[in-house]
Amino acid sequence: MEAVPAWYVRLIGEWDTSDQRAISLAKPLSTQQLNWKPSPGAWSVGQCLEHLCVANEVYLPAIARALAGPPRKVVQEIRPGWFGRWFIRSYIAPSSETRRARAPRKIEPGTAVDAPILDRFLRSNQAAATTPLPFGAGRVFVPLMDGTAMVLMSEKLR
């Protein structure tokens, strides 16, 4: 059996950390608190969880289809490409020089969420963490790792 690459172990660890952070933050909140917004136009904690959950639900099937088939070669380390780094810097983790862009419509949260949003988020992350990833490389891995990096960075910041 092939050894699991470090990038895969790191990826699963980041998803686990994201889950623990979401549990510690959202589990004690009431539905009213999950829906509280710090300012008009800002998202509530519940909406952030729903956004991340919907992103997993929308993008995971496409990622799984793109990864179908045997890997081309073994890769020991994978990092986001220029597009992933630019996207994270420009939209997910904006600085004083950039501003956060709106989420694509297909992954925008609803106006309010119900208490089970935390469980739904955790299930979507579990599905993401258990999506079979071949330990190979090919043209799909740059977008895959860019997308994965974007999702994980977004989870860290929300």
Q: Write out the chain in H/E/C secondary structure.
A: CCCCCHHHHHHHHHHHHHHHHHHHHHCCCCHHHHCCCCCCCCCCHHHHHHHHHHHHHHHHHHHHHHCCCCCCCECCCCCCCHHHHHHHHHHHCCCCCCCCCCCCHHHCCCCCCCCCHHHHHHHHHHHHHCCCCCCECCCCHHHHHHHHHHHHHHHHHC
Instruction: Tell me the range of 58-67, 87-96, 133-142 where mean pLDDT is highest.
Output: 58-67
pLDDT at 99: 65
Domain assignment present for 76: yes
Span 59-78, average pLDDT: 70
CA distance 66 to 28: 38
Name the more confident of 104 and 42. 42
Say which residue, 20 or 133, is predicted with more confidence.
20
Task: Classify residue 143: in a domain, yes or no.
Answer: yes
Per-residue pLDDT, 114: 93
Residue at 137 is within a domain: yes
Angle formed by the axes of helices 141-157 and 45-66, nearest 10°: 170
Domain count for the chain:
1
Question: Quick check: is 83 in a domain?
Answer: yes
* Mean pLDDT of the chain, nearest integer: 75
Residue 52 placed within a domain:
no
Q: Where in the sequence is the domain holding 119, given as residue range(s)?
A: 6-27+69-157
Residue 110 lies in a domain: yes
Question: Is residue 48 in some structural domain?
Answer: no
Task: Record the pTM.
Answer: 0.74
Six-digit token string for 41 = 């136009």
CA separation (Å) from 153 to 8, 40, 89? 16, 24, 10
Q: Is residue 93 part of a domain?
A: yes
The model's confidence at residue 136, banded by pLDDT at 50, 70 and 90, is very low
